[in-house]
Amino acid sequence: MSLKYNIALSSVLSACLLAAGAAEARGDGRPEWLQRDSLTVTQLGTVPSWSVTGAVSAAKGSKLEKSFTQNVLNTLYGEIPGLTVMQGSGEPGADSPSLNARGYNTLETTDRSVLIIVDGFESTLDNLSVQEIESVYLLKDATAAALYGMRAANGVLYVTTKRGSIKPLEINFSAQVGFNTPFKTPKFVDSYTYATLYNEALENDGLSAGGYDDAALEAYRTGSDPFLYPNVNWQDELLKKMSVLQNYNLNFSGGNGTVRYFALLNVSDNNGFFKGTDPAHETSSNSKYTRYNIRANVDVNITKKLLLNMTLAANIADQKGPAGGAYSIYNKAALTPPNAFPVHNPDNSYGGNSAFSNPVGDLLETGMGSYNSRNIQTNLRLSYDLSALVKGLSIAGAFSFNNYFIGNSNKSRTYPYFQVEMYDGEYYYNQFSELTSMEIDDSGADQWRNMSFTASLNFERTFSKKHYVWANAEFFSDEDYKMTDTDLKDWQFPYRYIGVRGRAAYSFDQRYMAEFVFSYEGSDLYMKGKRFGFFPAVSVGWIASNEGFLKDNDVLTWLKLRASCGTVGHASVIGKRYAYFQDYRYNGGYYKGYNQTIVSGMTEDEVADRNRTWEKERRFNVGVELGLWDKLDFTFDYFLHKRSDILVPPTGAIPSVLGMSFSELNLGRTTNQGFETSLSFYDRRPSGFEYYAKGNFWFARNVIDYQAEELRLYPYQVRTGHQIGQPFGLVAEGLFRDEADIESSPVHTFSEVRPGDIKYRDMNDDGQIDNQDVCAVGRGGTPEFSGSLTIGLKFRGFDFEAMFYGVGNRTMYLSGATYWSFMNQYSAPASALGRWTEDTRDTAQYPRLSTQGNSNNTQYSSFWQRDGSFLKLRYVEIGYTLPERCSSAISASAIRFFVNGTNLFRIDKVSGIANADPENMNGFPAMRTVSLGLKLKF
Amino acid sequence: MKKNIIFAAFAFSAILTSCEGYLDRQMETTQDEDITFSSYETAINVAYGTYSDLPQGLSQIWGSNGSAMLASASDEAEFTNQTHSVQKFNTGAWRPTDLPDNPMSNYYAAIRRAYDFIDNVGRVNHDDVKDNPSQPGVYEERLANIEQLKNEVMLLRAFYMFEMVKRFGGIPIISGKLDQDVDYSTIQRASLEDCVDEIVRWCDETASVLPPRQPDAELGRLTRGAALALKSEVLLWAASELWNNSSWASGYAHPELISLPAGDRAARWKAAADAAKAVINLIPEAGYALDEYSNLFGPTGYRSSEIIFCRRDGAGNSFEKTNLPIHFDLVTGGNCPSQNLVDLFQVKVDDDMAVDFDWSNQDMVSDPYSNRDPRLAAFIVTNNSTFKGTSIQCWTGGLDGAGVRNATPTGYYIKKYVNPDLDLLAGATSIHTWIYYRLPEIYLNYIEALNEYDPDNADIKIYYDLIRDRADMPGLPSGLDQDEVRRLIRNERAVELCFEGKRWFDLRRWMDEDALGADLRAVEITRNAADGSFTYKPYILEHRSFDPAKMWFYPIPQSEINKMPHWAQNPGW
């Protein structure tokens, strides 16, 4: 091992070293993200990676760029072992996925968000451009996370942004233009099919009236009367085939011994894919998102001993969309029956009826909403070298101000739509709603700011060349302030944390390491005297490959073992701001007086919780890192987390007769364990052909140990002991074949059942199917395991890289009108074509149709559950870098063209069902993007 | 080095200690207990908060598209939306784990609020008005108002208890503000008798203090009449069949939860009659008088002289949007009167004689809505009648009839409570009054009780006729026996008080199994194209499910039983 870093230099905490050290580890052409980092950035300074005994996994910005999307969080799928990212809506500007670290460790009743730290301070990540990200670290075990004490337990993402290094000015420019198409959109039937199925449903229900007669069916079939017998594909009416996504990036970096800088300008735009919206954004708006990012990270050696690190970043983003929200328009497009009414009536007014407004009218006439966000992330850090006093000693102070302000402006109005019917040869119009003037509401605002201050004392020194000592103590205060309303509400008060954190590490001869980390932290969420908590962690490590007997082994080039344990906390911010006060609140009221006057009512709020405290999690972690032939790298971590004091509502135990309501109490406990592993490979042939691969795989399984659950009548009903998020429902045993089958089965009590309805298992054998037969079915929506595989090739200017990403052990639930026919008068999905009929009774996978809501079939049951596992091609990119003689013609040092595909295809088990998307079952779909790009380097 | 670290640690902890104030609450923005009860205004708000849980029968059972009245669970009506939760009562799908009408947690919270007020209102700081010459008499007024509100909240407690007792039988009697750490495993359901005694006791106590009528500015607050009316209703229940009969639940271990001890029924009927008479005797002082229906159920109904106790909410139009005939703009469909109910409205032969409607009488059937009890036209929209300035088309194929989505399934629309003058498209609203007690109910309580123990009492005809006169219907015929009079009194109750949330409970109180399990009927109306005439044909719309082994009472919700496993479930559930 010949890691060429300079401990003395790194002690000045200059992040510029990162870039300098990064490529040096192994002098070959392997991508940056395949190299074993020589340095790891932490809250308390940059440390040599070999000395790290905690569990940390990382992703590099250069790799994240390969996913073409506007939201950094959407580049993280599969990239960091232990970090599970779940796709949400694909709506431009509102497409943040949900994150969890090592699965969920806490109950659904409480706050489960991951703490995001950017350049050392709490911040937001979704609005940065991926081009400004250097690394994203997931701090997994107690040692890595304990510094964040009371806010660490749900996982910490530690993000660093790019900084300058000692080199001549380098200019990078890139442009990428892509085409978005919806990954999957649910499919629905046309009018003729709808009417036919509706008649069948009525017949199934034993109802004779209300169906479509032969003339109507014929009209739907031939499309002879588009007004009275319309056949509208609402999705086609509302949605374009594609939208355009663009990104342009320009950055400058460089520096010398005194000043180093990184500056960036980035523009990103997604123009949305609704049809026919008002380009002036008056009466309507497409769903679009445009963002401008700028950054200037500057490091200055003011004197030989005084170093200034300045981080300045800002972005401006405009998100626009239809007044009711893109989600709602999208849903209306999907769910409005094709024959409900025409888009336009004969008099060109909008069609509509008492049950539905016109989806096209809703999009084009009801106004728009816009969110204009301004975001600043800035921090200043001064450090002073006190080596003159004590060799290796330094002090530092830092201040950070991170904030966003989102101004919300809504224009809204209603518009008239008409149900058209014909009497005696004349159209008769029945009006619903009416045209109002545009109401403009600019009052909505959402703002957040985080102001933090830290002051630290740092010591780093190597004694006698073998004893490496590293210690820090840092005082910190943190104020987190979120305000979504104009008047000051209790819960909008700044959340304040204050404390000391520190670390002491020792290693001997780069072979034996030990480390102690702690945080002593207090929060204003708790009553005086119960505010401060102590969160310690210890870890040890052994680098066996540095032992004499392995030192120059050509096969086993790296072997490191490590173990850690400790406690972290989670100050869950849910419910009341100050749970320890007994509050009263206005609630209801009573009208009195000859002339109506109201007197407000007031009531005791939730019972004060004077013992409220933070969640605690004890963590244990062991890991191994292995390197073979300098080509193969392998890491493995096993973990065990035990969480206690989780806030759970005690309602399961509190009878109504008390007349009191209780807020959540610190009663819940969970256990979570699993592993993460990754394996990477790189080789370069003498011909210059390079190929590489990296696989990640991780698994986490949790169990609820206690949650103040109500008493259950039967053991199978007990939720405790199951996975967090375990669904409970009825066990479906297929569809009733015939009346005889119904006769011989338990009585289904939700509604009258007929052949073709779902048959359930009588769990308690009482001859009756009811809510008491509900038991654990399937799994939750969060995958237990995830994995990814990246493969790449490079040869003579050509490069190719692709990444596959998959998850498993999760269940999807098909529910609501997207999957259930004729729910609330909605449409019928294409999957209804496979419904039960007498002819298909042996094969049908979809129950008989009904117009009556059929509450038997809509009970939560295993019938509608599907395996939610999938494997997707997350991205593929093919590039070509022009030979130097071409690039130098325009004085560029490199010119690269590339084609990129993001989210191109997926293998899963639900696509066949009405084109369902296992990641995003309803609403705005996720996107598939094909793009072309150009990168210039000067 | 070591010393440096120790020094640093010491320095940091010193900083922390001095910074602890950083974590204190910066400002009082919440209304905590001290603030609430130190101010007269907010303390009073707690008392009014106790009022705010009074049931709103126009939207008793919530649903995502329109709320249903309890009438849609009884034989009075059917709710248009077949997936509405009120239908669970009709299909028999209600059960301990799924009870569409469960007020228990609201009412016990309201009872706690009542005691919270009583316990803490003494903490009010009156310094601003006490001995303040610029506000003479205000202090005394406040004390008097507080005293009166204490009685009002205790009467509300009795009212809420009775709402629960009607549904569940004997319930736990909570007589104070429970401590947060109370051992609730000791709380038991009280016997029905104890519940009745407790309610009656507080009716008596508050009736002696509350004023017979409230001044105009306070109209709507509880009065002596409300206390006496509640007592009248409770004692009528105590005399009626359901609470005096546990034979349907033979073998049930806790008959005391669902029935009173055997006793002198005649004495119970007399107590009920006396209690009703006490309200009637209050008329001169309270000023009660029968009113016009249009006023009573109109937008200023709460001012009506006929009302003993009611609530009204802010002006709204959701009742109209739910219940108007479907062809009107913005209407979604709601509570539709049944043929069962319509058949109870008699046919007026002449000023002295009325007969029941008879489907085998072709003259009646060919023109079923003429010569009917005028209350039919006052309470129900029938086919081809004029409403909101237009003719309502309930026939098959008509604008309001079968074939139109969400049209009435029964052939009728409700008119009682509907304000026909609202322009819904313009967003117009009006006040709706939900009546708990009005004078005719007291008359009906009185004569029902009289007829049971003193069938020859002359008051029966007097008070029956008072109600009939106002409705422009003939009085009680002479020469009827006790059973015939009972039938007429019950019929009168069904007609006069239709949709008012009474029949659902009356049928149980009478143990009228036939009516509870009766098929719900509707009318099919065919328009004869040739002459525009109509043909009416009744048919069974829905089989109503009533299980006489259990459905006399609601089940205790399973969620409560799970927490209180020592509670007895009601029989059959």
Minimum CA–CA partner of B42 in chain A: A602
- Which of B2, B10, B12 to mutate to test binding with chain A, by most A CBs within 10 Å of its CB? B12
CB contact under 8 A, A660 and B36: no
B40-51 helix and B138-168 helix, angle to the nearest 10 degrees: 20
Distance of CA A162 to CAs A40, A119, A251, A644, B103, Å? Answer: 14, 10, 10, 38, 60
Label each residue of A579-636 as H, E or C: CCCCEEEEEEEEEECCCCEEEEEEEECCECCCCCCCEEEEEEEEEEEEEECCCEEEEE
Position B528 in a domain:
no
Whether A286 contacts A269, CB under 8 Å:
no
- The pair of structure tokens assigned to A690 is 């390079």
Residues 6+ apart with CB under 8 A from B147: B209
Q: A147 by DSSP, 3-state: which?
A: helix
Query: Bridge-partner residues for A268, per DSSP?
Result: A247, A291
Q: What is the mean pLDDT of chain A?
A: 88
Question: What is the number of domains present in chain B?
Answer: 1
Position B7 in a domain:
no
Position B108 in a domain:
yes
Burial of B133 (0-12, 13-18, 19+ CB in 10 A): exposed
Domain A7-168: assigned CATH number: 2.170.130.10
Residues 6+ apart with CB under 8 A from B143: none
The residue behind tokens 């409700």 is B414
Q: Number of residue pairs across A and B with CB atoms under 8 Å?
A: 240
Whether A20 contacts A257, CB under 8 Å:
no
Task: Say what the pLDDT of residue B413 is.
Answer: 97
| Helices of type H across B80-127 | 87-91, 104-120
β-pairing, A768-769 vs A747-748, is parallel
Question: Where on the phi/psi map is residue B333: left (φ > 0), alpha (ψ -120 to 50), or beta?
Answer: left
- Average pLDDT for residues A305-314, to the nearest whole number? 94
Whether A783 contacts B108, CB under 8 Å:
no
Q: Which residues of A touch B562 (CB under 8 A)?
A: 652, 710-713
Residue B465 C-alpha, separation from nearest chain A C-alpha, in angstroms: 31
pLDDT-derived band at A6 (thresholds 50, 70, 90) equals very low
> CA B203, B208, B209, B214 torsion: positive or negative?
positive
- Average pLDDT for residues A835-840, to the nearest whole number? 90
C-alpha to C-alpha distance for A632 and A26, rounded to whole angstroms: 13
Task: Say what the pLDDT of residue A24 is.
Answer: 38
Whether A661 contacts A609, CB under 8 Å:
no
- Average pLDDT for residues A700-710, to the nearest whole number? 90
Position B318 in a domain:
no
Is residue A26 over pLDDT 60? no
C-alpha to C-alpha distance for B180 and B187, rounded to whole angstroms: 14
Portion 220-249 of B in contact with A at CB < 8 A: 220-221
Residue B23 C-alpha, separation from nearest chain A C-alpha, in angstroms: 4
Task: Say what the pLDDT of residue A323 is.
Answer: 86
Question: Percent of chain A, pLDDT > 70?
Answer: 96
**Closest-CA residue to B560 (of B92, B172, B193):** B172
What are the helix and strand counts (H, E) for chain A? 11, 45
Position B490 in a domain:
no
C-alpha to C-alpha distance for A29 and A779, rounded to whole angstroms: 44
How many Cβ atoms from other residues are within 10 Å of residue A24's Cβ?
13
- Average pLDDT for residues B344-372, to the nearest whole number? 94
Q: Which residues of A touch B21 (CB under 8 A)?
A: none
> What's the longest Cα–Cα distance across chain B?
114
Give whichever of A43-47, A769-773, B97-101, B320-324 has the largest mean pLDDT.
B320-324
pLDDT-derived band at B500 (thresholds 50, 70, 90) equals very high
HSE-up of residue A444 (Cα within 13 Å, Cβ side): 12
The residue behind tokens 């939208």 is A243
Is residue A9 over pLDDT 50? no
pLDDT-derived band at A568 (thresholds 50, 70, 90) equals very high
Which amino acid, A17?
L
pTM: 0.77
- The pair of structure tokens assigned to B45 is 């708000």
pLDDT-derived band at A266 (thresholds 50, 70, 90) equals very high
Is residue A99 over pLDDT 60? yes
C-alpha to C-alpha distance for A120 and A122, rounded to whole angstroms: 7
C-alpha to C-alpha distance for A804 and A874, rounded to whole angstroms: 5
- Which of A492, A592, A763, A771 to mutate to test binding with chain B, by most B CBs within 10 Å of its CB? A592
**Closest-CA residue to A697 (of A812, A822, A809):** A809
Is residue A365 over pLDDT 50? yes
Q: B462 by DSSP, 3-state: which?
A: helix
The reply to whether B218 touches chain A by the CB within 8 Å rule is yes
Which amino acid, A388?
A
The reply to whether B186 touches chain A by the CB within 8 Å rule is no
Give whichever of A346-350, A831-835, A847-851, B445-449 has the largest mean pLDDT.
B445-449
- The pair of structure tokens assigned to A349 is 């007014």
- The pair of structure tokens assigned to A747 is 């009585």
Minimum CA–CA partner of A495 in chain B: B23
Is residue A5 over pLDDT 50? no
Is residue A421 over pLDDT 90? no
CB contact under 8 A, A771 and B98: yes
Q: Which residues of A touch B108 (CB under 8 A)?
A: 656-659
C-alpha to C-alpha distance for B420 and B319, rounded to whole angstroms: 11
Task: Say what the pLDDT of residue B436 is.
Answer: 97
How many Cβ atoms from other residues are within 10 Å of residue A697's Cβ?
18
Q: Which of A522, A585, A654 shows the shortest C-beta gap to B31?
A: A585
Task: Say what the pLDDT of residue A4 is.
Answer: 33
Q: Terminus-to-terminus CA distance in chain A, angstroms?
A: 34
Cα torsion for B185, B187, B189, B191, to the nearest 10°? 140
Whether A293 contacts A313, CB under 8 Å:
yes
CB contact under 8 A, B23 and A531: yes
Minimum CA–CA partner of A493 in chain B: B26
Whether A675 contacts A698, CB under 8 Å:
yes
Residues 6+ apart with CB under 8 A from B50: A601, B110, B113, B114, B117, B152, B153, B156, B157
pLDDT digits (tens, 9 = 90+) for A454-503: 999 999 999 988 999 999 999 999 988 877 665 555 656 788 899 999 99
CB contact under 8 A, A500 and B312: no
CB contact under 8 A, A594 and B219: yes
Portion 434-473 of B in contact with A at CB < 8 A: none
Owning domain of residue B161: 33-55+103-177
Task: Say what the pLDDT of residue B182 is.
Answer: 84
Query: Bridge-partner residues for A45, per DSSP?
Result: A42
Whether A447 contacts A404, CB under 8 Å:
yes
Is residue A300 over pLDDT 90? yes
Angle (nearest 5°) at CA B207 between B201 and B209: 115
The residue behind tokens 């009697």 is B173
Q: Which residues of B touch A433 (CB under 8 A)?
A: 330, 425
Cα torsion for B72, B73, B79, B81, to the nearest 10°? 150
Q: A862 by DSSP, 3-state: which?
A: helix
Is residue A511 over pLDDT 80? yes
CB contact under 8 A, B33 and A528: no
Task: Say what the pLDDT of residue B10 is.
Answer: 60
Distance of CA B181 to CAs A575, A603, B120, B185, Å? Answer: 21, 19, 19, 11
Is residue A890 over pLDDT 60? yes
CB contact under 8 A, B405 and A596: no
Task: Say what the pLDDT of residue B365 is.
Answer: 93
C-alpha to C-alpha distance for A756 and A737, rounded to whole angstroms: 6
Q: Would you give the distance in Å from CA A225 to the centre of its chain? A: 47
Q: Which residues of B touch A586 (CB under 8 A)?
A: 31, 45
- Which of B24, B31, B165, B537 to mutate to test binding with chain A, by most A CBs within 10 Å of its CB? B31
How many Cβ atoms from other residues are within 10 Å of residue A304's Cβ?
8
Residue B469 C-alpha, separation from nearest chain A C-alpha, in angstroms: 28
- Average pLDDT for residues B349-363, to the nearest whole number? 93
| Position with higher pLDDT, A713 vs B379 | B379
Question: Percent of chain B, pLDDT > 70?
Answer: 95
Whether A140 contacts A700, CB under 8 Å:
no
| Helices of type H across B328-415 | 339-342, 362-366, 374-379
pLDDT-derived band at A87 (thresholds 50, 70, 90) equals confident
Question: Where on the phi/psi map is residue B163: left (φ > 0), alpha (ψ -120 to 50), or beta?
Answer: alpha
Burial of B154 (0-12, 13-18, 19+ CB in 10 A): buried
Q: Which of A354, A590, A713 shows the shortest C-beta gap to B331?
A: A354
Is residue A27 over pLDDT 50? no
CB contact under 8 A, B95 and A770: yes
- Which of B26, B52, B424, B425 to mutate to test binding with chain A, by most A CBs within 10 Å of its CB? B52
- The pair of structure tokens assigned to B371 is 């010569």
Whether B237 contacts B212, CB under 8 Å:
no
Label each residue of B238-284 as H, E or C: HHCCHHHCCHHHCCCCCHHHCCCCCCCHHHHHHHHHHHHHHHHHCHH
